[in-house]
Amino acid sequence: MARYVVTFDTSDSAVLQDDAPGLLSSQGFSTETYFPRLGIGVVEGEPDQLESLSSRCREQNRPMSYTPELTYYAITDTAEPGFEDTSELTWGLQAIGIASAQQLGQAGAGVRVAVLDTGFDAAHPDFAARTIVTESFIDGEGPDDAHGHGTHCIGTACGPWQPETGPGYGVAPESEIYSGKVLGDDGTGSDTSILAGIDWALQNDCQVISMSLGADVREVHPPYVAAGRRALESGSLIIAAAGNNAQRSEGDPGFVGAPANSPHIMAVAAVDSQLRTADFSARSAPHDGGEIDLTAPGVDVYSAWLGEERHRSISGTSMATPHVSGIAALICGVSETRGEQLWQELVTHAAALEDEDPEDVGAGLATVPEPQDR
């Protein structure tokens, strides 16, 4: 169900007063928010319901148009409390409550986090002292990142709290980085490379596998059902991006794509710094596994980037996913919780977002557990 603005385009007040509300009721719409003087109403319904209202109006020669309802915000309202990047921390780290991990100095030590993506810029100065294992599953390409996406995602999951310059942007700075290149320099990959990457992560006993990738495909892809289950059974949690196929401002909420739509793979949506669902962030799909499990910061996320540029802010459920992977590493580092239990811990510690639909945010915003909750 979505909300639409219905406009009857005539100056004939008899039509606006009587015929228009009659047409609306006859098609099952409420006339509660119909304004006869304007000939405008706001109704809730499915696109095909609107289409049949439209053809009924045409038949009766009553010109009518409808558009998805837009949400407006008062311009003076922009000071609505939200998070913002400071010189100390990105808004995302603040939002997930990184402070409680920092107070205790718990930074994911001993946890192996596999990030399956476009590779990693191992020469990045923010990672000079880190344990990094890299591998490429793309024919003819080494493990280096020539795109930037992989380095950015690794930055968010495993980057520093206090880099030499700029704000802290990584969730679990003492975790061990396993960068599996499963998407080529052109940003594309296939099941052949991705499954090889998951298998490699399992061989290396990575507790967390972060996959900021997907295809806008509604069908569950069977290989990931088996892969997700076998990963959980071996104590590895796969966390994947829900997808960026929504265009909420145009009335399209999108759907969780593959492989995040598999039952044993966690699907992560994205919120902005006001903790509102991002315009592009996909909604739950109606089948087992198609749910959004958690949401995380995914708009204007500052993290590591290639070469001289070093850092860049970008958006996507790809950027939300490594926030959750980093939190998983923090939890695992403290309690050695793994697999299915780690999944449950993440969900248990999510902060409910009351203004957001669970179809969009799942259990809510992923957060770092407070010390007393551990």
Q: Please give the structure tokens belonging to residue 39.
A: 């000939």
Q: Cβ contacts of residue 44 below 8 Å, gap of 6+?
A: 1, 2, 3, 4, 29, 30
User: What is the spatial order of strands in the sheet that 266-271 belongs to?
Assistant: 132-136, 176-181, 112-117, 208-211, 237-241, 266-271, 294-297
Using CB under 8 A, which residues numbered 241 to 260 contact another protein? Answer: 244, 258
Distance CA 45, CA 320 (A): 31
Which is catalytic among the residues 149, 152, 264, 311?
A: 149
Distance CA 224, CA 315 (A): 26
Select from 24, 107, 213, 361 the one that contacts another protein (CB under 8 A). 213
Which is catalytic among the residues 136, 193, 210, 318?
A: 318
282 vs 346, beta carbon nearer another protein: 282
202 binds another protein (CB under 8 A): yes
69 vs 252, beta carbon nearer another protein: 252
Closest distance of CB 177 from another protein, Å: 19
Q: Which residues of 267-304 are buried (b: 16+ CB within 10 A; e: fewer)?
A: bbbbbbbebbbbbbbbbbbeeebbbbbbbbbbbbbbbb
Closest distance of CB 194 from another protein, Å: 7
218 binds another protein (CB under 8 A): no
15 binds another protein (CB under 8 A): no
| Stretch in the footprint of another protein (CB under 8 A) among 17-25, 50-58, 313-321, 323-331 | 313-321
Select from 159, 167, 214, 297 the one that contacts another protein (CB under 8 A). 214
194 vs 292, beta carbon nearer another protein: 194
Evaluate whether 201 touches 234 at the Cβ level (below 8 Å): no
Evaluate whether 45 touches 1 at the Cβ level (below 8 Å): yes
Using CB under 8 A, which residues numbered 315 to 354 contact another protein? Answer: 315-316, 318-319
Q: Which residues of 12-23 are buried (b: 16+ CB within 10 A; e: fewer)?
A: eeebbeebbbeb
273 binds another protein (CB under 8 A): no
Distance CA 96, CA 365 (A): 7
What element of type H or E holds 241?
Answer: strand 237-241
Size of site (CB under 8 A) for another protein = 41
69 vs 191, beta carbon nearer another protein: 191
DSSP state of 294: E
DSSP state of 82: -
Question: Is residue 318 annotated as part of the catalytic site, yes or no?
Answer: yes
191 binds another protein (CB under 8 A): yes
| Stretch in the footprint of another protein (CB under 8 A) among 63-71, 125-133, 155-163, 312-320 | 312-320
Positions that interact with another protein (CB under 8 A): 118, 147-149, 152, 183, 186-192, 194-196, 198-199, 202-203, 212-215, 217, 221-223, 226-227, 230-231, 234, 244, 258, 280, 314-316, 318-319
Residue numbers annotated as active site: 117, 149, 318
